[in-house]
Amino acid sequence: MSNDKCIKNSMMDASLFESGGYSLERMIDIALDLSAEKDFDMLMQKILIEAMDICHCDAGTVYVLEDDHLNFHTVYTRSLGIPAAEQSRNANLPPVPLGRKNVCACAALDNKKINIADVYESKEYDFSGAQKYDAITHYRTGSMLVIPMDDEKEQIIGVLQLINSLDKDGNIIPFDPAYEQIVSALASLAAVSLNNHQLAQEVTDTLHSFVEVMVDAIDARSSYNANHTRSMVKYAGKFLDWLKETGDAWTFTDETRDAYLMSIWLHDIGKLVVPLEVLDKPDRLGNFKAGIKSRVEIACLMEKVDFLEHPGKIEECMAKIETIKHAYEVIEKANIAGFLPDERIEELKSFADIKCKNADGEEIPLLSEKEVEAITVRKGTLTDKERKVVQSHVVYTKRMLDKMHFKGIYKEVPFWSGSHHEFLNGLGYPNNLTAEELPNESRLLTIIDVYDALTAEDRPYKPPMPPEKAFEILTSMRDDGQIDGELLNKFIESEAWKK
């Protein structure tokens, strides 16, 4: 139900509002004003102040129903001379149990408007709590109007409590019953707004729970990748804070900040479908290593058996053993080397020509074609085929997120997440996007992703790089037209990258 419709449905007729000093047009203006308010705390504050203005009263409180109690949400006393927002922040009032002792709880339980001329004279409700509060604050609670807030489904959402209606001379007087229906309409508007806020919060909470589950799933498969994501979120959060503190032209609201950080949390979700032996490959050989070691051990053992059976072949067999062992030593060193020069790659390729015996006495190559392909990777641990498999995670990331149908402020999450390996010069992947197609959000995500990949301390295949070296590489990428130089400079200046 819309807010202005809620106001209209809560009215008996226009003459009632005219008699209370508020016109129908004024109430609709209030509804439209409140409908435009996006800050929920400010919305509740506006509703309370409007109700206080209608009734010409000094104080009021908005309670929100949660489980078996009413929580103070907004509280304001004009005579204190302190802004309403500050009073609400510093109220620190305990929740009110849903029982018969408190008038606001009774209003919620009975869905009943309660108008008390003087709380010190009332025999129907227990106002000892209000009287204790008065004694502490030196305030005098007199008249009180308590209105339950129910939504379009007539579900109680909270309570609006007004205190001390005042005449034109500032004297405490009872609340005029003519105001009850008007304030009830306003309370219904507050209830619908509160209900909408709670529903929106539930959707957001569900979305965040999904993100947490996905990151935990990635963590269960690959601990270093989950650390990578968390580190990136920290860097991004600190950088966005820096943008706001420095008054940068590119700033984020709380909502857009949440959407952007969401895209970082989810940017590697596609790695859930990448085979773990590729994703976490710690060295060049990976799963081939155990097979080569076993092949070498068997081949050496078979040569020993051969010279024991044929003593005349001892020198030949021993030379073969030395050749195989030397080759294996070179293979082991190359397997974990950071970089392989041309001469080492050629030497490794030649090992495929070495023949060795298996347990059946058959002669087989020391290295298979796939093993040669793996061990001769010049830099890193992945073959071209394996690298393409890992790179495919970006395609899967966007494909998976597109199926979630992100809306509103979250609508760009799939694109931001799925474009973090694109470069401004069109040489990134998977879609070879260019600068004209990449917004700042994607550009920043790329910078942070590269920086953390270079400096991460828990990668199984390489040692961490110091920040200054990482920034040298990022600067080189800037010079090659891959990343945004202005954003890179801001990221460096922000020091958001510091541990």
The model's pLDDT over 86-135, given as tens digits with 9 standing for 90+, comes to 888 777 778 888 888 788 899 999 999 999 999 998 888 878 777 877 88
Q: Is pTM, for the whole model, over 0.95?
A: no
Side-chain-side CA neighbours of residue 319 (13 Å): 4
DSSP-assigned letter for residue 266: T
Give percent of the chain with pLDDT exceeding 70.
92
**Mean pLDDT, rounded, of the chain:** 87
C-alpha radius of gyration, the chain, whole number: 36
So what's the pLDDT on residue 470?
Answer: 97
Between the CA of residue 262 and those of 142, 203, 410, 451, 473, what are the distances in Å?
50, 14, 8, 19, 27
* Domains contained in the chain, CATH given: 3-199 (3.30.450.40), 222-271+396-499 (1.10.3210.10), 288-375 (no CATH)
Percent of the chain predicted with pLDDT > 90? 58
Element (H, E) at 73: strand 69-77
Q: How far is CA 370 from CA 119, 275, 338, in A?
A: 88, 17, 20
What pLDDT score does 226 carry?
Answer: 62
pLDDT confidence tier of residue 490, bands split at 50, 70 and 90: very high
Tell me the mean pLDDT in the region 334-360. 95
Long-range contacts from 83-91, C-beta under 8 angstroms, 24+ separation: 84/45, 84/48, 84/49, 85/41, 85/42, 85/45, 88/41, 88/45
pLDDT of residue 18: 46
* CA distances to 54, 124, 151 from 174, in Å: 14, 16, 27
What does the pLDDT look like over 238-285, one tens digit per residue? Answer: 999 999 999 999 999 988 999 999 999 999 999 888 888 888 888 999
Q: Can you give the pLDDT at residue 203?
A: 80
**Are the beta carbons of 163 and 60 closer than 8 angstroms?**
yes
Segment 472-483, tens digit of pLDDT:
999 999 999 999
Residue (of 264, 213, 211) closest to 451 by Cα position: 264
